[in-house]
Chain A
Amino acid sequence: QVQLKESGPGLVQPSETLSLTCTVSGFSLTSNSVHWVRQPPGKGLEWMGIIRSGGSTDYNSALKSRLSISRDTSKSQVFLKMNSLQTEDTAIYYCTRQWYYWGQGVMVTVSS
């Protein structure tokens, strides 16, 4: 069945770079788009970006200068990298396919 699972460090220092991985199963990344979404504690959801089946990407304009999404189709993995992290980047980060299948999310805290 379709599954997505996010992984990455739970704690990141301010000004450093966040690297997250979304490992998927039950479908091919060459036939499906994957989005990244984040949710600060107690707040709403924010779309971060998408990597499409063909490999093209689009980003939230507010994050575009700091964000990069890529993938390794052979490993069924999608990667998120975001630099210059600040405390306001503390959030649960989710990957989702087609806005229906979601990962469990990974909590990332930005703190020294």
Chain B
Amino acid sequence: DIQMTQSPSFLSATVGDRVTINCKASQNINKYLNWYQQKLGEAPKRLIYNTNSLQTGIPSRFSGSGSGTDYTLTISSLQPEDVATYFCLQHNSGYTFGAGTKLELK
């Protein structure tokens, strides 16, 4: 089974900051990597699919990159409404989530 190591687990940042969240797979996942945002009490919302494709309706300050085993979600300019927990999901071989990154405002 593929393991996903997500970092950091907790992140505190200021409005306007550039924020990056990382996921590392235990083997090559061929860019089959999605990113999700989950706010308290809500279902996950897909932000990015297949590494770098922005979901319709998601602000362009969210972007994804990566290849092989290493993937990154970037928020170019943090907004107050971005406070949430973020998860990655690999769907190359089976399905595995990262453990999550809780993003808060400093």
Are A100 and B97 neighbours in the complex by a CB distance under 8 Å?
A: no
Are A47 and B44 neighbours in the complex by a CB distance under 8 Å?
A: no
> In whole angstroms, what is the CA distance A46 to B100 when docked?
11
Majority secondary structure of chain A interface residues (helix, strand, loop or mixed):
loop
Majority secondary structure of chain B interface residues (helix, strand, loop or mixed):
loop
- Tell me the number of A-to-B contacts counted with CB atoms below 8 Å: 35
B98 partner residues in chain A, CB cutoff 8 A: 44
Interface residues of B in 13-38 (CB under 8 A from A): 34
Residues 24-60 of chain A, each 1 if its beta carbon lies under 8 Å from chain B, else 0: 0000000000010000000011110010000000101
Are B97 and A46 neighbours in the complex by a CB distance under 8 Å?
A: yes
Contact-size category for A: 10 to 19
Are B97 and A99 neighbours in the complex by a CB distance under 8 Å?
A: no
The interface size of chain B toward A, counting residues with CB under 8 Å, comes to: 17
Judged by a CB distance under 8 angstroms, whether B54 is at the interface is no
Q: How far in angstroms is the closest Cβ of chain B from A24? A: 14
Apart from A47-B96, A47-B97, A99-B46, list 4 A-B contacts with CB within 8 A.
A44-B87, A45-B100, A99-B34, A105-B43
Q: Give B residues with C-beta under 8 Å from A.
A: 1, 34, 43-44, 46, 49, 55, 87, 89, 91, 94-100
30 example contacts (A-B, Cβ-Cβ < 8 A) are as follows: A35-B95, A44-B87, A44-B97, A44-B99, A44-B100, A45-B44, A45-B87, A45-B89, A45-B100, A46-B97, A47-B94, A47-B95, A47-B96, A47-B97, A50-B95, A58-B94, A61-B1, A94-B43, A94-B44, A99-B34, A99-B49, A99-B89, A99-B91, A100-B46, A100-B49, A100-B55, A102-B43, A102-B44, A103-B43, A104-B43
Q: Give A residues with C-beta under 8 Å from B.
A: 35, 44-47, 50, 58, 60-61, 94, 99-100, 102-105
